Structure 1
Amino acid sequence: MSVIALRVDGGKDIGMGHIMRTMALANDLKKKPENKEVFYITKNDPTAVNKLKDNDFNVLVIDKDLSYEKEIKKVKEIIENREVNKLITDSYEIDQNYLIEMRKVVDKLITVHDYAPFAFPSHVVINGNAYAEDLDYKSYYGDTEFLLGTDYLLLREEFRNLPEVEVREKVQNILVTVGGYDMRNLTPKIIKALSELNLEEIDNQYIDKEKLHIDVVVGPSFDNVDQIVSEVEKSSLDISLNFNVKKMSKLMIKSDIAISSGGSTLYELAVTKTPGLILLQADNQIRVAEKLDGKSIMNLGFEDDFQVIAKRLKEFIKMNDNYLEEIFNKDDFKIGL
């Protein structure tokens, strides 16, 4: 019987992407009878801890102010006390030395990582990004199994085995989603851009002006809700604010296009056949947005001028019918841990 721990962090400073994608893997691992226990070790950030607990995961919290050396010591103690034999890590802050130390105390070390910054001492490295096979991965001990590319994409269960998605000829529903924390204050600017959009300049063949509806997702760590509400109140558009969204896949399937941040959301948009106008929130979103640009998304990079966003949105709506491409057909993980 295996006891599996996941060493993963999330919160305002780093977003919730690492937490969300590892939950997809952890939920599958929980279902396997050979796994006695699956739990998280995470720094004490309320957003991450609450998200994990809301999804029925046991969480062991470590102090976020621990020094590097003390954190390694603390995680080793947890592993030994809980008799963990498999450890999964997903954090840019966990370096080669950290992983070498972890390998000493577990039977199997699995690392989820978006880049190849060093030779990995892990038994398994997972990178499900579309660009993963372009990277120069190396093994520290010479025995690492590299699982690279979209066959190993960590998609949440709600985005697998989806029903056939109906694609409307006209844009009727628009989704706005920038992740768990709006670190660049993009949501109010996107709403302003939508409100400034001159619908009369868009031909009726592209958009259903009478039924146009906007769904705005408000993430759990947003600190700009007042600004968002203010922009909604000033707008003449039909806008709904969505808090504590449990099934993002339903909103994406309902939507004809999305205005979104980058990261793993781009893959979720791809499998729901929702073309996306993308505004990046962080540097780690650049590579995937560039790789997918022109396939299912239009990448605006770090643009934040609402007038430019409105202009590009108008272009995007007109090219929507040429922008759909089914990139992924996910039904299950090919990862055997």
Structure 2
Amino acid sequence: MIMALRVDGGKDIGMGHIMRSMTLADDLKKDEEVERVFYITKNEPSAVKKLKENDFEVITIDKDLNYNEEIKEVKEIIKKEKVNKLITDSYDIDQNYLIEMRKVVDKLVTIHDYAPFAFPSHVVINGNAYADDLDYESLYGDTEFRLGTDYLLLREEFRNLPEIEVRDRVQNILVTVGGYDLRNLTPKIIEALNSIDFDEIEDQYIDKENLHIDVVIGPSFDNVDHIVAKVVKCNLDISLNFNVKKMSKLMLKSDIAISSGGSTLYELAATKTPALVLLQAENQVRVADKLDDKSIINLGFENKNIRFGFKEILEKRINLVDGISIDNNFKTIELLEK
């Protein structure tokens, strides 16, 4: 069996689709029935680099192709490479695109966060907490919908986690906004943290003498110099983390996080790391709204003061630790079985 994944990532759309699809692709590579797994992706350097770093075969298509040209080229690749099953994960792939893909594969699987049209796919996966609230339809009447956090595409490092110790006071803070800092949030967060008068915060909430902050620098950040300049002027103990190979390790050691939205919020919930969340894109709104006051405090698009939110999460932290249970122990290959 030969399987292909039609997924894009990069500076403009982030790396979320790439990251979650790799969860499924990793399990597929381990399956004895799967002879070959490869990606079909637009030629965006950061996405191609990330896939190759994780030992995936990549066939690129020109990112300047128009809609019909792209469909034609992808179909030709599928036929040439004798693909049996295709997995798609892109908001740019609409109903007609999927209809055309279904014509050339035995099984079509679509990962999608919304229900914008009746799906022609054989399987649709939406692991979001809000998935059951959406009105999904099947175009041909044979679609199997796998919805909700039972079908969340969590990376293997976030499955079967050890028992997590919850400290009484905050000692380690994690700052992470994804692969690309679209809204230049990281410098703003550092500046906001540095402006907090920690002497005004009660000792029961925070270990001021041992406070440490880990800042994650994503692979597509173009504001590193700005971040470094903020850190140099900062009075806090801050570490910059480049090329992080195991995010779960950083999350597990952190007592709280300041994060952007998206799938990272589920990983933080799995590691029981309450988060103060600043949104970067509209597709993060539903997740943040659903998890607000459960495992996160949602500040929206910087509508609230970060300093105010920081004090709020310190007070609510213990209640947020167990606000939502994310515990996926199944192999994601099960998502493709009918």
Whether TM exceeds 0.5 here: the answer is: yes
Q: Does 1:329 align with 2:327?
A: yes
Residue in structure 2 matched with residue 227 of structure 1 by the alignment: 226
Residue in structure 2 matched with residue 111 of structure 1 by the alignment: 110
Residue in structure 1 matched with residue 50 of structure 2 by the alignment: 51
Unaligned runs of 5+ in 2: none
Post-superposition offset of 1:336: 3.2
Deviations 1:198-252 (A, max 9, x none): 1001111110000000000000111111110011000010000000000000000
Post-superposition offset of 1:293: 0.5
Query: Where do 1:161-310 residues align within 5 Å?
Result: 161-303=160-302, 308-310=305-307
Residue in structure 1 matched with residue 309 of structure 2 by the alignment: 312
* Structure 2 letter corresponding to 1:199: F
Separation in structure 2 between the aligned mates of residue 315 and residue 200 of structure 1, nearest angstrom: 16
* Structure 1 letter corresponding to 2:273: T
* Structure 2 letter corresponding to 1:189: K
Q: Tell me the secondary structure at the aligned position of residue 35 of structure 1.
A: coil
* Structure 2 letter corresponding to 1:336: L
Residue in structure 2 matched with residue 33 of structure 1 by the alignment: 32
CA contact 2:123–2:336 (8 Å) conserved in 1: no
* Structure 1 letter corresponding to 2:236: L
* Structure 2 letter corresponding to 1:310: R
Unaligned runs of 5+ in 1: none
Deviations 1:52-80 (A, max 9, x none): 00000000000000011110010011000
Q: For residues 218 and 133 of structure 1, do their structure 2 counterparts lie closer, same or farther at Cα, with a shift above 3 Å needed? A: same
Separation in structure 1 between the aligned mates of residue 320 and residue 300 of structure 2, nearest angstrom: 18
* Structure 2 letter corresponding to 1:51: K
Separation in structure 1 between the aligned mates of residue 312 and residue 124 of structure 2, nearest angstrom: 40
> What's the TM-score once normalised by structure 2's chain length?
0.97
- Runs of 4+ in structure 1 over 4 Å off: none
Separation in structure 1 between the aligned mates of residue 319 and residue 143 of structure 2, nearest angstrom: 41
Q: Does 1:154 align with 2:159?
A: no
CA contact 1:202–1:318 (8 Å) conserved in 2: no
Q: Does 1:20 align with 2:19?
A: yes
Post-superposition offset of 1:319: 2.0
Post-superposition offset of 1:304: 6.5
Query: Where do 1:85-164 residues align within 5 Å?
Result: 85-164=84-163
> What's the TM-score once normalised by structure 1's chain length?
0.98
* Structure 2 letter corresponding to 1:29: L
Post-superposition offset of 1:311: 1.8
* Structure 1 letter corresponding to 2:325: I
Q: How many residues align?
A: 334
